[in-house]
Structures are given as C-alpha cells and as structure tokens.
Structure 1
Amino acid sequence: MSSRLYGNLAGVFSMLVWSTGLPAAAEVLKTWHPLLVMPVRMALAGVVLSLVVLAWNSLPRLTLQLGKDIMLAGSAMGISGLFLVWGQAFAHPVNVAIIVASMPAISAAVGMLTGRERLTVTIALGVALAMAGGIVTIAGREHGGPERVALGLGELLVFISTVLFVLFTRISVDRLGNMSDLARAAVTTTASSLVTAPIAVIAGLLGLAELNYALDAKSVGLLVWLGCIGIGLSSVFWMAACRMLGVTVASMHNNMIPFYTMLFALLLGQAVSLVQALGGVLVICGAVLAQLQFRSLKFRPKGGQGV
C-alpha cells in the first residue's frame, strides 16, 4: 500500500479512537474539574506511551534543542486543551464545533505563512469541502436560533485553541521528525502534562477554581480509557497521518468526528438524518480532492525545519 493510503487509514483510526473519548470525557467531567482532567489524562497517555517506547528502545538521544522543541510542542498542546475547555464554558456548542471544523483552513494558512505548504485551487477546494462537510453534519444534529451567530470571548478562545493545536502538530512533525510516531506522541503528551499540571495546582491554591475529583472505580476507569486510548493511542495515529499526508490534509479527518459520532448513534439504534450523511460525504470528497495534488507534485509539504 502507498504511504498516502496508510496516512488516510491512520487519520481514520485516529479520529475513530478519539471519538470514543467523547462520552468518557462527558462522564468524567461530572465529577472532575476540567483543569484536573487535562493534566491527568495527558500524564496517563505519556506514561503508558513512554513505557512502550522504552521497551522498544526507540527514543533518540536527548539534546538541549530537542528538549526545547518537545516542551514547545507540549506547551502548545496543553494550552490548546485548556483554552478549548475554557472557551466551551462561554461559547455556544455549535459555534465551537464550527470553529474546530475550520482546522484545515487554519492549517493551510499557517502552512502558507511559514512556507511549509503551497496552496493551489485543488487544495483550496478540498479544504472548503471538508469545512462544509463538518458544518453540514453539525447542522444535521443541532437545531436552534440566531444565538449561534453571536461571537464572543468563548469563540475567540476556541479559535486560539485550534490555532495552537495546528502549531503543536506542525512543531511535532517538523522539529521532532527524527523520532518515531510513537515517541513523538509519548514525549508531547508527557510535556503537555508537565505544563498543565502547575496551572491546575496554582489555580487551586489561589482559590481560582475548586478542583473537585472522584476516585470511584467508574471515574478512574473512564480516565484511564480517556488518557491511554482516547488521547494516547489516537495521538500515535494522528502523528502518523500528519507525517504521511501533511498537516492540512490530515486535519480534514478531524471534520469526520461528527460523522463517526453519527455512526456510533446508528449502531445504538438512534435516528440519523440524510443531512448528517451528506456532511460526511462532503468531508471525504474534500480529503480525496486535496490529495489529488500529490500526484502532480503541485501541493506537498516542503522539507526542512520550522513550524
């Protein structure tokens, strides 16, 4: 199989696995404060992945520059997660989903500004289709009034979170390219926990947040799943997809999350609309259209270091 096919399979598995963490996170947040969930799930992912890396002895020699790059990527990942949780507290859920669906466009813009990717008509159409598919699928699940278009602090935070996640991914792929996908996922999730844990501790000590938590079997089990599978395993597939497809094309798989959620609902016997199915088809068409450019070599990630 070609690397492009492997990359797309990795993107599909990454988003499928990540989607399983959505119901787990919803349950955990009933008893755990979001500021605690972030570092704990990242730490669980980092520890498990690091143990696997050490067992395979696939971690390269750590240098000062490599350490800086790891912490930079981990900081972007951790702060992105915190901003997303913070933004969700103030923004309409539909607005949040639509902003996150813009990730391919944000990635393409960052790629152009940093000279990492070239934009063509085909990739622009692919990005547009992927974004439209994500929004259409969301529209098929949600119903509401004009309050969706009201933008404020929450939406701004979610947008910054999405930008930071794109930067985290690009730093991981570009600057940590001498590592395996597994090692990149291990060190970045570990670094993310090291960045977000002090923030939670300081917030608790200063009385800015009541860091509630529960250690019952259900909560702990869901946290383990959320960290080791929802974050850990999906991160490995995500790194592989971005390495083989480029960040912009891989980001299009992110817009399939509502479609996968729809499939899970269908398996559970819930009703699914044709609008949702159409959204999923649009995302798939966008991803395929964008990758047609790889054959003519008009659009591909450029080599070299940098974000």
Structure 2
Amino acid sequence: MIDYTAFLASLADGPLTKWRHPISEGLQQRFDSLQHGDLERWQASLNKLPSLDEVEADLVNGVTLRSRHPLDAKAQTTLEEGLRGLHPWRKGPFDLFGIHIDTEWHSDWKWQRVAPHIDLRGRRVLDIGCGNGYYMWRMWQAGASMVIGVDPNLLFLNQFEAVKRYLPNAPVWQLPFTLEALPEPSNAFDTVFSMGVLYHRRAPIDHLLQLKACLRPGGELVLETLVIEGDEQQCLLPEDRYAQMRNVWFLPSVAMLERFLARAGFNDIRCVDLNRTSVEEQRSTDWMRFQSLPDFLQPGDASKTIEGHPAPLRATLVALKPGG
C-alpha cells in the first residue's frame, strides 16, 4: 500500500539498525491483515491527488505547500476532491497548493506553546500517537535530523501520505503501529513526544517507562496530557465518559504528574505550559463536520464538561532520562 523502501534503507546504519528486519516484517503483516471498510475509499482519494513538480514547503508558521507552477482549475478541483475524501481532518491546519484545510484543532497554537521550550536541532525524534503527522512536519522544520511517528489509525496514515507524497525526500516517516508493537528501541532517540496519549492509558506509569526506554541516556521527553487543578494527591478517574470520550482514565494534577515522572525515573522535570482548551482552539469545521468541544461542554457553563467534570486543561511537561 505504501512504499517504505527509503525508510528501511535509512535504518541500515546507526542505533536503529536492529529495527530494519522486524519493522519490515511488521509492515508486511500489518498490510496483509488490513480490514477496514473505508480503506479503499481513502486510498482512492489519495490516488486522486495530482502529481506536481517543483514543490516548495513553508513549515515555519504552519504546514504550507506551494508549486512553482500554478495549478489549473481542473487540477485544483481534483486536489480538493481528493483531500476532502480523507475527512475528517482533526490536526492541522494545512495549506496545500491554495487549499486551506481548516482542521478541528488549531494544532499550530499548541506548537507555538511547546516549541520555545525545546531544541530539536540534529535530533532523532519519535512521536507517539502522531495523528496525521502535523507536528512531525513542524519538528522537522525545527531542525530534527529524522522524525518517526507511530499511530495505528489508517485514516491518519493516509492524511500523512497526502503531504508526504509532495515531500518524498523528507526524513519524516509514519508507521501504522502502536508503541507496544515497535521493536526494542535500543535507547535510540534523542527526543520522544507523547502528546494527547497518556490519559488514554490504563497504566500511565507503564507508558512513561516505555517512553523512557525509547530515549538515549540524557534524552528528552515532551509530555502533553489532560490534567486537573490540585496538589500532588489529586487525580480524576472518570466513572464513565470525559467530554464524551469513553477511553479516558487518569487525569492527574500537574504535581501528581510530576511525581509519576519521577517514579518512572525521569529527572529535571518541569511544566512548561498549562492551557485551558478553548472552543476556538478545538471546534467543528467544514473539514471536520462531527461534534467537537463546544458540544462536550455544559450549556452556559464552559468551565465544566457535559458530565460535570472540570473542562479540558492541558499541561506540557519536559523531563530528561538520566545519564548522557
């Protein structure tokens, strides 16, 4: 379905050499076993995207692609039809050859809050739960030498490929795996991101230990997750749903989250951002036409979810693996 030849070749040397064979086998097994009712439609949409030469990328303020040769009306229409066939678009926005994809999330706002606190120059980066790859393009622009993202969602993979096909030589790759399905990482990564994942984990400490195992000694974790206000004893465990999400488990206070990280063996732990998610940052759009945050808050009281929990508050913490 997707050609990973160049990616596998990039693993020939360096700390990820041991990944080459198991990743190749894992991809073969993953694609051989694919069963998804929408996959054929997504692939048809991806294949509809026009071939373009002399593509220029502007990734400084977002993810913008341009062609030195303006698209004619037919190509523009075909491009938009192909991109709309990959609905819903959740992370972004993207500007692709004159078409603005107004995604559910203003992910550019989150990146603006995170980017000042990290240095990715020359670093090998792993992005866990990477979605459609929006942040990976920003990571590469920030100087990362290689960015690998993992996410089992096949729609997100096809959305990533919609951009990757126009930047085929970029050292940015997305694998349709979970973190648990990856081979032993051999302490290979300089920076590991886990953004919007921890609260979906039934065993948050285990997740942090898995992330630490991916880092080289002295490597950096960037962790973003839902939290609540309170001291180091405070944690919310929803009885059922949180903001209409079923698979939300632990929402700790920042102080408790810092303790989680310390117990997992991280040091130099610091909270670099605390932000209440607004209905301007997450909302329904023409490119994501399902319900979104405004529908998940109590009418007349945006401080609470529809279930009565505190409204989404997100913290970003940075921590180091000892050593190095």
Q: Indicate whether the TM-score tops 0.5.
A: no
Higher helix share: 1
Highest relative contact order (Cα 8 Å, sep 6+), 1 or 2? 1
**Scaled by the length of structure 2, what TM-score is found?**
0.28
Based on CA coordinates, which of the two structures has the bigger radius of gyration? 2
Structure number having the greater strand percentage: 2
